[in-house]
Amino acid sequence: MSIVILKSAPGLPAAAQGDASDVVQLMLARLKLEGEAAARHYAARLDGWTGEIVVTPDEVARACEQVPEELKTQIRYAHDNIRRFAEAQRASALDFQTELRPGLIAGQKQIPLSAAGAYVPGGRYAHIASALMTITTARAAGVPQITAVSPPQAGRGIHPAILYAMSLAGADRILALGGVQGVAALAFGLFGAPPADILVGPGNQFVAEAKRQLFGPVGIDMFAGPTDSLVIADATADPLTVAWDLVGQAEHGYNSPVWLVTDDRRLADAVLAHIPACVADLPEPNRSSAQAAWDALGEVILCADREEMAATADRYAPEHLHVQAADLGWWRSRLSAYGSLFLGELTTVAFGDKASGPNHVLPTSGAARYTGGLSVHKFLKTVTWQQVEPQALPDLARATAAISRAEGMEGHARTADIRLDKLRPALRQVGNG
């Protein structure tokens, strides 16, 4: 049986607005030239924010008092899971040394970056979890200076729950800035912050484009597009649960693809039947976002067997891959292209998005074919070192000189020769002895 598309994705209509790259390029040029004055200008024009940019500890404390205690409890629960997972990752990144040959010693060392910049979205939704995912992970990696930015709301500032999460996660500085100006403040070191070595965190197309253009002198976690999610389900899955898992991820926005891959036609038909009611049950604006995403980008794919299902999932390389099928061990072993894997009906993607522990900043748009998501490793430099003792030098110098001369690099060869020449008297003396 060949793959059958039971619901196809017609795709999004042609974009009404121009390419974001030109807009971002002009903004970054002005921000680099004018610095804080340009950042204030864009904050006022784009976010309606004319208040202070640097959020003081007293302001953070007042904002935290506005957060309900029950929500604080749940944020602390999520932070503890994220911190524990990140600390376990850090423990897996080891320094080592090895003696490759007698007298030839080499090793690696893990060095935390000096400064990180975390972008926390705060537009239509208050992205509490993003603050936890980015700042907590940088702190667990050992980064000594962490600056966080988030878009302020006119007349209100940064959402109080975001400020609470930023403070709990360990941000050293918090700036009330969003969009390109927020990213630029992190990269250029504005408002008293050190210039970031790496920029992390999700954002809209302008934030993503700013990170892309700044990449090089500054590191980035990844160039991320709209979030996407794929569910693998067989006859053992519950159709209503699958339908809600698809709709729950589609509510991210009109441009968020969701896909169902199954080998059971009855399950597929039942899921398709449930989707309209699930979408209709959402409040606005979530309902419109989910409907637009499902209509334009939702797909239901019928496969012959589980191997074809797995191969299909690997081709899509989704950001989130949720398996609701029998024999979870087989799927965990077989699947190879995803940002994060969610195994079993109980393990909804929303758990990973918010509170379970592994990071939710993940590769999108098929990038999971070649990279993983945000982790402590993004905040570490794995550097190497080497040391040569006399007993290793003769063979190493001869090999280096021979290869260098074959490449036409005489200067390289001579740096090896001079060391061998210096050692030869000692070698002859040992031989005579």
Q: pLDDT per residue over 355-388, tens digit each?
A: 999 999 999 999 999 999 999 999 999 999 999 9
Please state the rounded mean pLDDT for residues 246-264. 96
Segment 187-202, tens digit of pLDDT? 999 999 999 999 999 9
- Residue-level pLDDT at 20: 86
Segment 144-181, tens digit of pLDDT? 999 999 999 888 899 999 999 999 999 999 999 999 99
- Residue-level pLDDT at 16: 40
pLDDT band at 1 (very low <50, low <70, confident <90, very high): low
Segment 298-315, tens digit of pLDDT? 999 999 999 999 999 999
Please state the rounded mean pLDDT for residues 308-337. 98
pLDDT band at 19 (very low <50, low <70, confident <90, very high): confident
- Residue-level pLDDT at 416: 97
pLDDT band at 427 (very low <50, low <70, confident <90, very high): low
Report whether pLDDT(123) > 90: no
* CB-CB contact of 301 with 261 (8 Å): yes
- Residue-level pLDDT at 224: 83
* CB-CB contact of 361 with 130 (8 Å): yes
- Residue-level pLDDT at 155: 84
Residues annotated catalytic, as ranges? 319-320
Segment 21-53, tens digit of pLDDT? 899 999 999 999 999 999 999 999 999 999 999
Q: Which long-range contacts (CB under 8 A, 24 or more apart) does 308-314 make?
A: 308/3, 308/263, 309/232, 309/234, 309/261, 309/262, 309/263, 310/232, 310/334, 310/335, 312/3, 312/261, 313/230, 313/232, 313/261, 313/337, 313/338
What tokens does 387 get? 């040391």
Query: Omega of the bond prior to 285 within 30 degrees of 0, cis?
Result: yes
Report whether pLDDT(105) > 60: yes
- Residue-level pLDDT at 2: 80
CA distance linking residue 396 with residue 181, whole number of Å: 52
SS (H, E, C) the chain: CCCEEEECCCCCCCCCCCCHHHHHHHHHHHHHHHCHHHHHHHHHHHHCCCCCCECCHHHHHHHHHCCCHHHHHHHHHHHHHHHHHHHHHHHHCCCEEEEEECCEEEEEEEEECCEEEEECCCCCCCCHHHHHHHHHHHHHHCCCEEEEEECCECCCECCHHHHHHHHHHCCCEEEECCHHHHHHHHHHCCCCCCCCCEEECCCCHHHHHHHHHHECCEEECCCCCCCCEEEEECCCCCHHHHHHHHHHHHCCCCCCCEEEEECCHHHHHHHHHHHHHHHHCCCCCHHHHHHHHHHHHCEEEECCCHHHHHHHHHHHCCCEEEEECCCHHHHHHHCCCCCEEEECCCCCHHHHHHCCCCCCCCCCCCHHHCCCCCCHHHHEEEEEEEEECHHHHHHHHHHHHHHHHHHCCHHHHHHHHHHHHHHHHHHHHHHHC
Segment 345-354, tens digit of pLDDT? 999 999 999 9
- Residue-level pLDDT at 423: 85
- Residue-level pLDDT at 17: 43
28 conformational bin, left if phi > 0, alpha if psi -120 to 50, beta if neither: alpha
229-233 sheet: strands from edge to edge: 4-7, 299-302, 258-262, 229-233, 320-324, 340-343
| Model-wide pTM > 0.75 | yes
Average model confidence (pLDDT) across the chain: 94
pLDDT band at 223 (very low <50, low <70, confident <90, very high): confident
pLDDT band at 433 (very low <50, low <70, confident <90, very high): low
